[in-house]
Structure 1
Amino acid sequence: MDLELRQLRAFLAVASELHFSRAARRLHVSQPALSQQIRALEKSLGTALFDRSSRATELTAAGRVLFEAAPRVLAEAERAQALVTQAARGAVGLLTVGSVGTALASIAPRILRLVRAEFPDLQLEVSQYDTSPQLVALADGRIDVGLVRAAQPTETVAVEHLVSEPLLCAVPTDHRLAGGPTVDPRELADEPFVLWPRPLGRAFFDIIVSYCLGHGFSPRIVVEGADIETQLGLVAAGLGVSLQPSYYANLRPPGVVFLPLDGEVPQVALQVAYRRSDRSPAVAHFVAAAKECAASG
């Protein structure tokens, strides 16, 4: 059985009017063409749909069954067509997103709202990852797009700049430097440092070490924290000082003071990352939304 949607539409027109001429005018086709479509449909189904034995056109028993079922068939067909069109535009399906913690607390919600407003049927799955694990997850196909910091592009993963933030110095509130307006980086030479483990963000870690080396010392790392909350808690406890992107100052953690650094200060980039081979419209929409949010501040 090979049913065509145009034949079903023609059948519904005739079944509604119970008059071939009126149905033909309604469909803007000739009556012979309409009759030909109905005969083709009856041939496909192997049964008559209309009783043409009297002057009035009437539905047969089979025709009445089809008259009830055909609208559902057409509605499902139209729904399927709409879903296919939406999928081609990246408006449906699942988009898996990775994000560093700072982005989740700053720009990521705005990006997600923008994507959701434009494509309400696109399912978003968001997980917090540090930069290095995100790059691995992208390359492995476990996430589709990510918000990363100070990452280098690879052969597999493309990275595009969004915004930059200067480094700030985080010290305990009772630290000798806490009362000053700024910090001379050379004053940190003998201080214990609290930092991220390098495997979680090699590029960011190396920015900090390079900055310290540029001021004549290597940071004495006494403890590491796998997330920003842990690191700032360690700073508040007096275990050391830390250098962090300026956004973390907005968190206002108790027991910690953020101070600007004197002189030229490295800028830490927030970026959007995705697989170079990915042609998904949903990924393209997310990247565009991320750039729009970054540009609007």
Structure 2
Amino acid sequence: MDVELRQLRVFLTVASELHFSRAAARLHVSQPALSQQIRTLERALGAPLFDRSARATELTPAGRALLEAAPRVLYEAERAQDRVTQAAVGAVGSLLVGSVGTALASIAPRILRQVRARFPDLHLEVSQHDTAAQMVAIADRRLDAGLVREAAPTASVAVEQLVSEPLLAVLPSDHPLAGSATVDPRDLDGVPIVLWPRPTGAAFFDIITTYCREHGFSPRIVAEGADIETQLSLVAAGIGVSLQPSYYANLRPPGVEFRPLAGPSPSVSLQVAWRRRDRSPAVAHFVDAARACATRH
């Protein structure tokens, strides 16, 4: 059976008029041409659709069956075309996004809101991962894009800076340095420090250790936390102090104070990452939204 959608639309017009001349006028075609299209459809279906022997044109049983089925067929065809069009421009489907906690506490909500506002039918699945895990997952196609921190681009994953924030000293509220307007980095020599494990983000870890060495000491790391909530809890418990990007200041739990570092301090970049050869429109929309949000930061 080879039935075209155009033929179904012609059939529905004739079925609504039950008059070939009026149907031809509605469709702006000649009556012979219209009759030929109906005969072609009947041959394709193997059954007559109209009884032309009576004074008035009537639907045959086969015609009545097609009258019931044709609108659903046309609706599903139009719906499929619309879904294909939306998928081609990245408006539907799924987008798997990773994010470091730093971004979730700052720019990520604005990016996700912008993507959702423009493409409400695009399913966003967001999960928290450290930078190293995201870079591997993006390369392996387990994530489509990510918000990472101080990552170096690779052969398969592109990285673009969004925003950069300075490091701050993070102190227990009862720490002697918490009463100062700024913290001299040299005063952290020998002080217990809480930090991220290096494997979760080597570049960020190295920024901190290099900063300490530039001020004449190596950090005395006494505890590590796989996420910022753990590290801030360790600081609040008095286990040690920490150095964190200023993004986290809005997460300040009770018992923790953030203070600027005296003198020049390094900045930590938040970046968007995606596969270089990914041509997905949805990924392009996410990257564009990230750039737009970064310019308004």
TM-score interval, normalised by the smaller of the two chains: over 0.9
1:119 corresponds to 2:131: no
Is the CA contact (8 Å cut-off) linking 2:204 and 2:268 kept in structure 1? yes
Unaligned runs of 5+ in 1: none
Q: Measure how far apart 1:247 and its partner are.
A: 1.4
Unaligned runs of 5+ in 2: none
1:57 corresponds to 2:57: yes
Root mean square deviation of aligned Cα? 1.0
**1:251 maps to what in 2?**
251
SS state of the match for residue 244, structure 1? strand
**2:288 maps to what in 1?**
288
**2:106 maps to what in 1?**
106
Greater displacement, 31-40 / 13-22: 31-40
CA distance in 2, matches of 1:56, 1:274: 65
Q: Deviations over 1:179-206 (max 9, x none)?
A: 1110111111221111000001111101
**2:178 maps to what in 1?**
178
CA distance in 2, matches of 1:29, 1:120: 41
CA distance in 2, matches of 1:271, 1:121: 26
**2:72 maps to what in 1?**
72
Is the CA contact (8 Å cut-off) linking 2:172 and 2:235 kept in structure 1? yes
Q: Measure how far apart 1:250 and its partner are.
A: 1.0
Q: Measure how far apart 1:210 and its partner are.
A: 1.2
CA distance in 2, matches of 1:216, 1:28: 88
CA distance in 2, matches of 1:150, 1:27: 63
Q: Deviations over 1:30-50 (max 9, x none)?
A: 222222211111010011101
> Which amino acid is 1:204 matched to?
F
| TM-score, length-scaled by structure 2 | 0.97
| TM-score, length-scaled by structure 1 | 0.97
Q: Deviations over 1:104-163 (max 9, x none)?
A: 122212211211111111111111111111111111111111111111111111111111
Q: Measure how far apart 1:213 and its partner are.
A: 1.4
Q: Deviations over 1:53-84 (max 9, x none)?
A: 13321111100110111000000000000000
**1:233 maps to what in 2?**
233
CA distance in 2, matches of 1:261, 1:216: 15
> Which amino acid is 1:243 matched to?
L
How many percent of aligned residue pairs carry the same amino acid? 76
Q: Measure how far apart 1:276 and its partner are.
A: 0.8
SS state of the match for residue 272, structure 1? strand
**1:188 maps to what in 2?**
188
